[in-house]
């Protein structure tokens, strides 16, 4: 660590203050207004930043250091509390600007509904977009208890926008009967596992723009208890890191990514936040070329 590097905890480790020179932009989406079980993911983005201070800048997996790349942390977007529709509009407007500046958007959630306006904006710029989705839940409902704006609906909205054949889901192990039927009929659906089916899929996506969205509950609760709808039977943090590295080493073109649903209040050990911060580090190092 250089002597002039000072970490306040308010930004992700080694973030640049120069937006114009940065290749990627980290931004927080502190929204958890539609969660179906335990709230608290709106506190995820700042805590991920704070624990990132404990990371090494160097990744032995990728043999790269955060000192080798330039990225900007914009902080958290100002979202009107309780107003999901307006909050989604604000997120979409912000991401549209980041994409217009040809920078990689790296989002921190927040509940998974925050990904929906990002999908829409990234697809508008890249019409041949593919989405890779790691999650415990399919998020393919049309509505939840009568509400179409729900953290259980973003991938269904994406499928209706860009076609289910362009969506690849991994690690799913929970959902309604209707969601599973819809997934099997319309989505590239790989339930329960992540790494091995992902390795088989990546060559099919060579050359295509890809957006990666990660719900932290794809991990087993033993690895990440700090989330609103924890689901037993998940993958390990090692497999998640291996999956991110597989994407980074592949021939796909990652044009955006996010990590959502970290709810720090349910994990006083901080292991959920720590693994989230490490995954963000690996995505920055792997996806910024």
Output the domain CATH number for residue 268. 3.40.800.10
- Residue 227 domain flag: yes
Q: What is the pLDDT of residues 113-137, one digit of tens each?
A: 999 999 999 999 999 999 999 999 9
Q: How far apart are CA 198 and CA 204, in angstroms?
A: 10
Look at residue 8 and tell me if it is in a domain.
Answer: no
The whole-number average pLDDT for the span 168-173 is 98
The reported pLDDT for the residue numbered 151 is 81
- pLDDT tops 50 at residue 5: no
- Report yes or no on 5 lying in a domain: no
Question: Is the pLDDT higher at 279 or at 35?
Answer: 279
The answer to whether residue 13 sits within a structural domain is no
Q: Is residue 10 part of a domain?
A: no
Tell me, what's the pLDDT at 147?
A: 74
Calculate the alpha carbon distances from 250 to 206, 207, 208, 280, 289 in Å: 7, 9, 11, 18, 12
How many Å separate Cα 226 from the centre of its chain?
15
134: containing domain: 24-287
| pLDDT > 70 in the chain, percent | 96
Round the average pLDDT of the chain to a whole number and report it: 94
Euclidean distance between CA atoms 186 and 180, whole angstroms:
10
Distance CA 103, CA 238 (A): 28
The helix or strand, by DSSP H or E, that contains position 162, with its residue range, turns out to be: helix 154-162
Residue 24 has pLDDT above 60, yes or no: yes
What is the C-alpha to C-alpha distance for residues 61 and 241, in angstroms, rounded to an integer?
Answer: 9
Distance CA 65, CA 26 (A): 17
Is 2 within the bounds of a domain?
no
Q: What is the DSSP letter of 263?
A: -
The band of 9, judged by pLDDT with boundaries at 50, 70 and 90, is low
Across residues 14-30, what is the average pLDDT? 96
Q: The dihedral of CA 59, 63, 66, 67: what is its sign? A: positive
pLDDT at 148: 72
Considering the domain boundaries, does residue 3 fall inside one?
no
Confidence of residue 29 (pLDDT cuts 50, 70, 90): very high
Is the model's pLDDT at 2 over the cut of 80?
Answer: no
Strand partners, 212: 132, 257
Sorting pLDDT into bands at 50, 70 and 90, what band is 36? confident
**Residue 4: left (phi > 0), alpha (psi -120 to 50), or beta?**
alpha
- Is the CB of residue 166 less than 8 Å from the CB of residue 130? yes
Q: Who contacts 53 (Cβ-Cβ below 8 Å, separation ≥6)?
A: 7, 9, 13
H/E stretch holding 48 reads helix 44-52
The predicted model scores a pTM of: 0.95
pLDDT in tens, 63-105: 999 999 999 999 999 999 989 999 999 999 999 999 999 999 9
- Cβ atoms 3, 271 nearer than 8 A: no
Say what the pLDDT of residue 7 is: 47
Domain count, the chain: 1
Token couple for 286 = 């792997």
pLDDT at 6: 44
Q: How far apart are CA 260 and CA 146, in angstroms?
A: 23
Does the pLDDT of residue 259 top 80, yes or no? yes
If one compares 258 and 146, the residue with the highest pLDDT of the two is 258
Q: Per the domain annotation, does 76 fall within a domain?
A: yes
- The alpha carbon of 285 is separated from its chain's Cα centroid by a whole number of angstroms, namely 15
């Amino acid at each position: 660590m250089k002597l002039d590097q000072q970490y306040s905890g308010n930004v992700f480790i080694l973030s640049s203050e120069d937006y114009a020179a940065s290749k990627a932009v980290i931004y927080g989406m502190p929204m958890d207004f539609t969660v179906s079980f335990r709230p608290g993911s709106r506190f995820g983005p700042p805590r991920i930043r704070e624990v990132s201070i404990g990371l090494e800048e160097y990744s032995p997996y990728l043999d790269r250091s955060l000192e080798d790349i330039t990225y900007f942390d914009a902080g958290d977007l100002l979202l009107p509390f309780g107003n999901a529709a307006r909050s989604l509009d604000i997120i979409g407007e912000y991401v549209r600007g980041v994409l217009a500046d040809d920078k990689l958007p790296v989002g921190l959630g927040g509940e998974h509904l925050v990904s929906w306006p990002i999908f829409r904006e990234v697809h508008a710029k890249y019409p041949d977009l593919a989405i890779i989705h790691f999650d415990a839940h399919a998020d393919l409902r049309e509505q939840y208890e009568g509400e179409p704006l729900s953290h259980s609906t973003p991938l269904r909205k994406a499928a209706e926008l860009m076609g289910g054949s362009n969506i690849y889901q991994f690690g799913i192990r929970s959902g309604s009967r209707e969601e599973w039927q819809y997934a099997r009929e319309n989505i590239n659906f790989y339930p329960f596992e992540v790494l091995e089916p992902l390795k088989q899929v990546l060559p099919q996506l060579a050359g295509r723009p890809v957006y990666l969205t990660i719900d932290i509950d794809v991990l087993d609760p033993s690895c990440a208890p700090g989330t609103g709808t924890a689901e037993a039977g998940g993958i390990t943090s090692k497999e998640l890191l291996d999956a991110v590295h597989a994407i980074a080493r592949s021939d796909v073109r990652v044009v955006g990514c996010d990590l959502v649903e970290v709810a720090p209040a349910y994990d006083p050990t901080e292991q959920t936040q720590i693994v989230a911060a490490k995954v963000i580090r690996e995505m920055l190092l792997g996806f910024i070329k």
